[in-house]
Amino acid sequence: MHRLMIVDDERHIVDWLFELFLDSMPDLDIVKAYSAQEALQRLEASKIDVVLSDIRMPGMSGLELMERIKDNWPACRIVFLTGYSEFEYIYAAKKQSGVNYLLKTEDDDVIVEAVGEAITEIERELGNRQWQSRALEREELVTHLMRKELLLDVADGKVRLADANRVWLDKLSIPFDESRPALLLLGRWHDAIEFPDYSDKFLVLSGLSALSERYFSSFASHVLLDVDKYDLLWILQPAISEEDADVSDNRERRGRRAVFYVREMLETLQAASEEVLKTKISFLLYEQPVPWTSVREKWDLMKAMADVRLSSPRGMPVVCAIDADEASSFDAANKAAFEGGAYARKTEALQECLEQGLRNEFFERLDELNEGLHRASRMRDLAVAQVYCAISLLFLTYINRNGLAEKLADRVSLGRLIPSSGFESWNDSFDYLRELGQAVFALKEDERSHREDELIERIKAFVRSNLHGELTLARISQKVNYNASYVSRFFKQSTGTNLFEFIHKARISKAKELLEDGSRTIQEIAKATGFDSPQYFATAFKKTTGLTPNEYRSQRS
């Protein structure tokens, strides 16, 4: 969904244009600003795709506003409306790319067409397939794999970036400063995409990295890693100037701005990926900067939360964010699972030691695992069972691959590698596994349905409790921590009603209730139900009910 901002110091023009686009382009998320200063505040709060603005306003002209917009959102299209036709204004506006110019005397259709053309330009740019023409060179692939291995080792605490040669890091295109925290962004192939071989996957990753560079580079450096089969990890670090490097307040401010810009650009990156690379990706952004020593811990947390937040049975890719409080609550509720996962992950190092014959290192790591788990009082503890099964599988794989079963039989019993479960045959155990699988997936579907119902109720509750205020799609989506496009499509598919239609009906319904009460004036009711003026309220009310507010009140009195 694209977002249009209408800017003019004359309220009646803004309100007229708002109604015009509400009727002619109902899929737009429309934001109103009654001054250039208010427009800048809106631009600070969310990404705007198209700005429809007066070119002459008090305090700050439309041209000055244009410069500020282009600094922050270079891809934003601007359509200027003015009653003045002086050549210098037209010339100044036309010098900028993505800028159009119309007189206020133009017909409504011409204004709507100009905004439509601006949106078409945005979509055409997203469809530019130049990213797919990048050559798949062997050197790029090798560099990618080496960069991935090094950064994953850093995340696991095996090496430190600070100890690496800067020339080598530059060769691998690793731009990070380990003394400053990073932002973590999880991407998940939405359709569990399968690649014939890694070169095909790398081609898509290269295109995705190029798109990321385009949308992120102005405010953060980044590296994209394919961590496993379906999950991607973006590590981002806010750009910082030399003068800000030693000022903590400036670093924190830039960090907050980077979080904001990343969050706002994700929907654009998602659309570009689908259009250009033919891949659907869901995103989960961790909004708290993460020290490098905590990258693995937070990544595990994000993967666990992604299983909940990114599941969408309606076939829609998702963009959502989690803050530190939500992450902390989830972490506490799943502490045992995370501990089990962390211990089980350490068994990977055991396999390497076993295969390479590193006896001392093997038992050192085995003792490390024991140190964390020896207090467990019973094997029924699922975290303990997870670790035991992981190590058992490691031994079983090694023994079977090397034909050691008979040779070991005289030394140690192998039966206890497989915990007794009371099954008399493989058929019994398989029937149990199938039954367990059915139960797990049924539970996941029930929980998913419950989360969807809960999200719809959260949206409706927020709308009903804020009818007096501004109810833009951007504000609602930020409240529920999903991106605007997803919220809009999800609400329509779930309820059969456009979200803006629901908001309008809720406002009219509340207005009817207040009119029947009879204790408030029309002006008070208009304000209480979120209409900008009594005139606009009267027009909207009559359009919906066929009666003016006063006529409706008279009938009910």
Distance CA 452, CA 477 (A): 14
Distances (CA, A) of 508 to 392, 464, 465, 496: 65, 11, 14, 19
Q: What integer pLDDT is reported at residue 509 of this predicted model?
A: 93
Give the pLDDT band of residue 334 (cuts 50, 70, 90).
Answer: low
Report the relative pairing of strands 50-54 and 77-82 from DSSP bridges: parallel
Give the tens place of pLDDT for each residue, 445-457.
777 788 888 889 9
176-206 in b/e burial notation, b at 16+ Cβ within 10 A?
bebeebbbbbbbbbbeeeeeeeeeebbbbbb
pLDDT of residue 133: 43
Distance CA 263, CA 484 (A): 11
pLDDT above 50 for 265: yes
Task: Give the integer Cα–Cα distance in Å for 254 and 259.
Answer: 9
The per-residue pLDDT for 442 is 74
Q: What is the pLDDT of residues 200-210, one digit of tens each?
A: 788 888 889 98
pLDDT at 130 over 50: no
Provide φ and ψ at 112, rounded to 5°: -60, -40
Highest mean pLDDT among 179-183, 250-254, 388-392, 406-410: 179-183
Residues forming beta bridges with residue 185, ordered by sequence position: 234, 285
Pairing of strands 50-54, 231-238: unpaired
| Half-sphere exposure in the Cβ direction for 149 (13 Å, CA) | 6
Answer whether residue 5 shows pLDDT above 60: yes
Q: Give the count of beta carbons closer than 10 Å to the beta carbon of residue 446.
A: 10
Amino acid (one-letter) located at 322: I
Q: Where are the alpha helices (DSSP H) in 166-197?
A: 166-171
Q: Quote the tokens at residue 552.
A: 């409706």
Give burial (CB, 10 Å; 0-12/13-18/19+) of 105: exposed
| Strands of 208-359, DSSP E | 220-226, 231-238, 281-290, 319-322
Place of tokens 């937070």: 298
Asked if residue 30 lies in contact with residue 18, where contact means CB atoms within 8 angstroms, the answer is yes
Neighbours of 309 (CB within 10 A): 22
Q: What percent of the chain has pLDDT over 70?
A: 82
What's the whole-number average pLDDT of the chain? 80
Mean pLDDT of 269-280: 87
